[in-house]
């Protein structure tokens, strides 16, 4: 590779320069403080682990396995994975490292790495921040998680105009079980729902058991009242289906009560990570953005691989995405060179006030600090900060 190209970064990876890095870091601190105020305890997880821990080697995590970078450990000869998601690591902590009884609440923030971008124009190395709640399978736990997610986005001042989508995989899953569909048919249906391909869905479901119900699920995915009117009595009386439907309705009512100004939509066939989630799913979208600002859901039993299956719900977001397009000029004060005691005291006072002060070196002048915004000058016997 020519020397002129050695500075180039891989696709989907970027430097974060000071004007944006300060915004990101400020948000990281504020959001972690916010999560701490809600009782979520911070954990740090390793950037690399044995692949068995990161991917969980199960059908439910096939997508995660595909986006995980893998390398050979030079010490053990075993396969390692660079974390592509921190949830499996927190599940390991809950199951093995800190297996407390009762409800456990955790939060985290750290860089993850993906083999491919997960959304259009997204980073392959997002700064993932999230929160998870283990040990409670109630609707109240899901409502708390959604409430925390919305509060966190509010901390980022990104709540204006956003839209919350709610769904529940139990509706589709219970219908699949009642119809006795094979895995391939189930996958084909899931793909049609994801593409919102109603004409194809209508044709595909004609010869299926409960075909009209599968079609109604897609046709009226955003209108629960219309959906109930078009479903068969047999499906509506199915216990699992009713439990999922009631959970969705209850969650909608409670979130509307807590966030009355929020736009909330229903999509019962939003089946992203369908095999991974086990109940309610939720995502927050901003105007003119295809990828969600934050997303999450229920994933009961995730710790089973580590020997301790527990109810779990949580969400995550990319802090870079939350800060997209936000930049902040860094105010920097330049002080003259010298050892005068009053000068050193003025510099110390400014720094104690949280201001950034650079003292010139040698014979340097202001031109040596091209990004300076203010200077410390001696005026009428006192040191004063003046805008440049």
Is 85 annotated in some ligand binding site?
Answer: yes
Contacts of 91 (CB under 8 A, 6+ apart): 134, 302, 303, 305, 306, 312
Nearest CA to 47 among 121, 123, 127? 127
> Alpha carbon of 108 to those of 13, 49, 129, 208, 250: distances in Å?
21, 17, 6, 44, 29
Please give the angle made by the CA atoms of 334, 20 and 117, to the nearest 5 degrees: 155
Q: Is 128 annotated as a binding residue?
A: yes
Of 244, 168, 179, 166, residue with least CA distance to 213: 179
272 assigned to a ligand binding site:
yes
CA 108, CA 22: separation in Å to the nearest integer?
A: 19
Backbone angles phi, psi at 151, to 5 degrees: -65, -35
The answer to whether 76 and 104 are in contact (CB under 8 A) is no
Which contiguous run of DSSP H or E holds residue 203?
A: helix 198-204
**Which distant-in-sequence residues (6+ apart) come within 8 Å of 183 by Cβ?**
none
Two tokens, residue 136: 């409670």
Q: Does the annotation place 87 within a ligand binding site?
A: yes
Does 200 carry a binding-site annotation? no
The sheet with strand 79-82 has its strands ordered as 48-50, 79-82, 70-72
Compute how many other C-beta atoms are within 10 angstroms of the C-beta atom of residue 233. 7
| Binding site per annotation, positions | 85-87, 128, 132, 272
| Binding site per annotation, positions for L-histidine | 85-87, 128, 132, 272
């Amino acid at each position: 590779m020519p020397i002129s190209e050695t500075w180039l970064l891989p696709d989907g990876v970027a430097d974060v320069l000071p004007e944006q890095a300060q915004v990101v870091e400020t948000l990281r601190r504020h959001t972690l403080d916010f999560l701490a105020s809600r009782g979520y305890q911070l954990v740090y997880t390793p950037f690399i682990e044995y692949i068995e821990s990161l991917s969980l080697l199960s059908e439910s995590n096939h997508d995660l396995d595909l986006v995980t970078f893998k390398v050979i450990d030079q010490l053990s000869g075993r396969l390692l994975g660079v974390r592509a998601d921190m949830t499996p690591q927190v599940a390991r902590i809950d199951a093995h490292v800190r297996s407390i009884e009762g409800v456990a609440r955790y939060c985290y923030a750290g860089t993850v790495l993906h083999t491919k971008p997960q959304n259009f124009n997204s980073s392959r190395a997002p700064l993932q921040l999230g929160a998870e709640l283990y040990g409670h399978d109630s609707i109240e736990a899901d409502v708390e998680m959604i409430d925390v997610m919305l509060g966190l986005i509010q901390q980022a001042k990104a709540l204006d105009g956003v839209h919350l989508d709610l769904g529940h995989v139990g509706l589709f899953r219970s219908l699949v079980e009642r119809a006795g569909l094979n895995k391939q048919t189930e996958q084909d249906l899931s793909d049609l729902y994801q593409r919102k391909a109603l004409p194809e869905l209508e044709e595909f479901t004609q010869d299926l058991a409960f075909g009209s119900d599968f079609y109604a699920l897609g046709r009226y995915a955003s209108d629960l009242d219309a959906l109930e009117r078009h479903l068969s009595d047999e499906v509506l009386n199915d216990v699992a289906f009713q439990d999922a439907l009631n959970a969705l309705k209850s969650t909608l009512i409670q979130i509307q009560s807590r966030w009355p100004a929020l736009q909330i939509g229903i999509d019962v066939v939003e089946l992203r990570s369908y095999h991974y989630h086990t109940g309610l799913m939720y995502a927050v979208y901003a105007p003119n953005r295809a990828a969600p600002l934050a997303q999450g859901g229920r994933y009961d039993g995730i710790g089973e691989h580590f020997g301790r299956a527990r109810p779990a719900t949580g969400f995550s977001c990319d802090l870079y995405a939350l800060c997209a397009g936000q930049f902040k000029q860094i105010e920097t004060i330049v002080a003259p060179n010298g050892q005068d005691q009053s000068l050193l005291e003025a510099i110390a006072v400014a720094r104690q006030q949280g201001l950034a002060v650079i003292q010139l070196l040698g014979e340097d002048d202001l031109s040596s600090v091209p990004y300076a915004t203010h200077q410390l000058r001696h005026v009428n016997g006192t040191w004063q900060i003046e805008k440049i």
